């Protein structure tokens, strides 16, 4: 990747520059609204849901939500990762020259834990989104790509990566095994490693989600007569994104960093310690490893070193993720992977978050952007997921 010392600083202007660079290569994904989901989210939880929690015996929060769903499931390769991959490669070409990058090629590894997917589905793994995004960006720019994948990867995933003329090299299923093969590829070819999230160029590319969202919500509200529209430096009171490695959350927070009226939150699964970001903030130290079989498989990655200090992180259970995903499938009519449903699950079920919105939003409520990060799953996987419920 480009040297950290020569990368643009993490500022809103850098996000805008990234957007100018990648906009010819990505989709401007839609923002969807649903009054039904606004109503459901604004309905107090049942008091029975608090049994055995710190809120037992307390009156449920009564927040008011107006939700704006940013549909990155409609992005190229089916996930927001295309933004960071294109930005990283275009920046490399700018720094080294496209001829040099084409001569050396690029490499990464698919970080999916296919050996640990019994709790979800062996044919489904959204953590390979970066690998496929890099393959697409390299194919588009005529750059050789060497993608390291576990030998137990599914045929469809291998075929999807090879469809972009990427060279697929097989490895063992653990991260150390994959990293070792990547090292061999770099030694053999001189290929440049493009990491999935913990690099400024990746973060700035992912931050363009926030830029687009802000602009699109402004357009939606431009002619609105409602007295509840937020005032000040931003039309959004909050944005909430999934949190895995943290590139999306860090990029979004970077874009809104000069808009103090917009709060940026992260959403994690709590299953088997998948909430490493939340726990790390509580402990005051980043948690470097995660081992969880959460159905939100795209969020099984530990938060990166650059990204982990971001605040405002909430976590939800597996059942809450499934309930939120079901509502989005049935009411918003969008096909998403479980990881993408985690922010909406926080809105529906995390009483701490809901009390923040009630307190800060009052009778006017909050306008909240919800990033649906991707849709890389299958009908069969979704059917199996709910058959187990």
> Tell me: the pLDDT tens digits for 301-341?
889 888 777 779 999 999 999 999 999 999 999 999 999 99
Mean pLDDT of all residues belonging to the chain: 90
154 band by pLDDT with thresholds 50, 70 and 90: low
Average pLDDT over residues 227-245: 80
Residue 35: CATH number of its domain: 3.40.50.1100
Average pLDDT over residues 132-144: 96
Does position 211 have pLDDT exceeding 80, yes or no?
yes
| Residues 70, 57 share a domain | yes
pLDDT tens for each residue of 37-81: 999 999 999 999 999 999 999 999 999 999 999 999 999 999 999
Residue that finishes a domain, picked among 142, 163, 193: 193
| Residues 266, 382 share a domain | yes
Q: Among this protein's residues, is 155 annotated catalytic?
A: no
| Residues 177, 95 share a domain | yes
| % of the chain at pLDDT higher than 70 | 91
Does position 200 have pLDDT exceeding 90, yes or no?
yes
Q: Among this protein's residues, is 111 annotated catalytic?
A: yes
pLDDT tens for each residue of 12-32: 999 999 999 999 999 999 999
206 band by pLDDT with thresholds 50, 70 and 90: very high
The strands making up 145-150's β-sheet, listed across from edge to edge, are 167-171, 145-150, 106-109, 192-193
Contact in structure between 247 and 304 (CB atoms under 8 Å): yes
| Residues 172, 119 share a domain | yes
Does position 204 have pLDDT exceeding 70, yes or no?
yes
- Top-confidence range, 119-133, 147-161, 222-236: 147-161
| Residues 73, 89 share a domain | no
Q: What is the pLDDT, as a whole number, of residue 112?
A: 46
Residue 197's contacts (CB-CB under 8 Å, 6 or more residues apart) are 84, 130, 203, 206, 244, 245, 246, 247, 248, 301, 304, 307
| Residues 362, 301 share a domain | yes
| Residues 290, 145 share a domain | no
Contact in structure between 7 and 297 (CB atoms under 8 Å): no
Number of domains in the chain: 2
Q: Which of 81, 113, 157, 259 is catalytic?
A: 81
Does position 116 have pLDDT exceeding 70, yes or no?
no
Residue 179's contacts (CB-CB under 8 Å, 6 or more residues apart) are 109
Does position 223 have pLDDT exceeding 90, yes or no?
no
Q: What is the pLDDT, as a whole number, of residue 113?
A: 41
| Residues 171, 257 share a domain | no
Full domain range(s) for residue 157: 81-193
Q: What is the pLDDT, as a whole number, of residue 388?
A: 62
| Residues 72, 214 share a domain | yes
Q: Which of 14, 42, 111, 339 is catalytic?
A: 111
| Residues 311, 205 share a domain | yes
pLDDT tens for each residue of 339-374: 999 999 999 999 999 999 999 999 999 999 999 999
Give CA–CA dist 3/352, Å, rounded: 40
Does position 290 have pLDDT exceeding 90, yes or no?
no
- In order of 288, 299, 316, the CA distances from 383 in angstroms are 33, 21, 21
């Amino acid at each position: 990747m480009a040297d950290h010392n020569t990368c643009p600083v993490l500022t809103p202007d850098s996000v805008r520059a990234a957007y100018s660079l990648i906009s010819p290569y990505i989709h401007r994904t839609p923002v969807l609204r649903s009054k039904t989901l606004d109503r459901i989210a604004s309905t107090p939880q049942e008091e029975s849901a608090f049994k055995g929690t710190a809120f037992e015996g307390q009156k449920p929060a009564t927040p008011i939500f107006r939700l704006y769903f940013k549909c990155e499931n409609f992005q190229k390769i089916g996930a927001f990762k295309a933004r960071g991959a294109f930005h990283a490669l275009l920046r490399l070409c700018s720094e080294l020259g496209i001829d040099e990058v084409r001569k050396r090629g690029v490499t990464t590894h698919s970080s999916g834990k296919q050996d640990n997917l019994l709790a979800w589905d062996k044919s489904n793994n959204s953590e390979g989104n970066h690998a496929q995004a890099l393959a697409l960006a390299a194919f588009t720019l005529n750059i050789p790509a060497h993608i390291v994948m576990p030998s137990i990867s599914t045929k469809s995933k291998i075929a999807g990566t090879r469809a972009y003329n990427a060279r697929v090299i097989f490895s063992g299923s653990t991260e150390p095994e994959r990293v070792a093969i990547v090292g061999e590829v770099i030694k053999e070819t001189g290929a440049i490693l493009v990491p999935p999230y913990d690099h400024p160029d990746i973060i700035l590319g992912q931050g363009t989600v926030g830029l687009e969202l802000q602009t699109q919500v402004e357009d939606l509200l431009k002619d609105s007569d409602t007295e509840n529209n937020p005032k000040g430096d931003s039309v959004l009171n909050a944005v909430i994104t999934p949190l895995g490695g943290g590139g999306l959350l860090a990029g979004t927070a970077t874009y809104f960093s000069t808009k103090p009226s917009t709060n940026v939150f992260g959403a994690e699964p709590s299953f088997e310690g998948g909430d490493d970001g939340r726990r790390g903030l509580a402990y005051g130290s980043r948690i470097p490893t995660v081992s969880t079989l959460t159905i939100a498989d795209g969020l099984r990655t530990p938060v990166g070193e650059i990204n982990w200090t971001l605040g405002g992180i909430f976590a939800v259970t597996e059942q809450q993720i499934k309930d939120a995903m079901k509502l989005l499938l049935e009411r918003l009519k969008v096909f998403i992977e479980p990881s993408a449903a985690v922010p909406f699950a926080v809105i529906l079920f995390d009483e701490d978050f809901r009390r923040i919105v009630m307190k800060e939003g009052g009778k006017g409520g909050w306008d909240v952007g919800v990033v649906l990060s991707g849709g890389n799953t299958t009908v069969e996987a979704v059917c199996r997921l709910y058959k187990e419920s």
